[in-house]
Chain A
């Protein structure tokens, strides 16, 4: 029961990140919001593995960490006015 409430609270946190991505005045604001939402989603999928009792959701979380990391690095390269192979 407590873990289910935690899951709903994390969904609320993801909506807060989406509000920042919507309001954010500059481009890096939106990128920060999406990056933090990726880290939140890792916790959400881990809790989902606990709630449903299916272990493969934690594999999704482990893959999501690295996808979020690579996406953030590529966007940061774009922000610094560089090409991707530099």
Chain B
């Protein structure tokens, strides 16, 4: 095993660990907003770690460059989708957890149906 393959496998294992903790948060946290923030942040970073590890292992070959190209795509699309889902869930009428302390978006939105 070369040194760059060792480093690549290390980065991939790091990313998979982030994925595991994200899915643990998705299972254990109490309401939909908490689950969304735990799951989306951890799983986005974990997938980026896997793709970066593949780039480190393969270098500037076809597979490596495509994996490197996937990183900005994941970083751009996954948080935008999560934001749209959180906003949709709030408009849909999902209640916050009973121990949540502040709901700023409800105060901003008021009765305006366009926001």
Contact = CB atoms under 8 A, between A and B. Distances in A.
Contacts, number: 149
B47 A43 contact: yes
Contact of A76 (B35, B43, B63, B84): B84
Nearest to B46: A43
Chain B interface mostly: helix
Interface residues of A, number: 45
Given A19-B27, A61-B70, A72-B81, A50 B35 contact: no
30 contacts: A2-B13, A6-B13, A6-B16, A9-B19, A13-B19, A16-B24, A17-B26, A19-B27, A20-B35, A26-B89, A29-B32, A32-B26, A32-B36, A32-B40, A33-B26, A35-B85, A39-B40, A40-B23, A42-B70, A43-B19, A46-B70, A50-B63, A55-B62, A59-B66, A61-B70, A69-B77, A72-B81, A72-B85, A73-B80, A80-B92
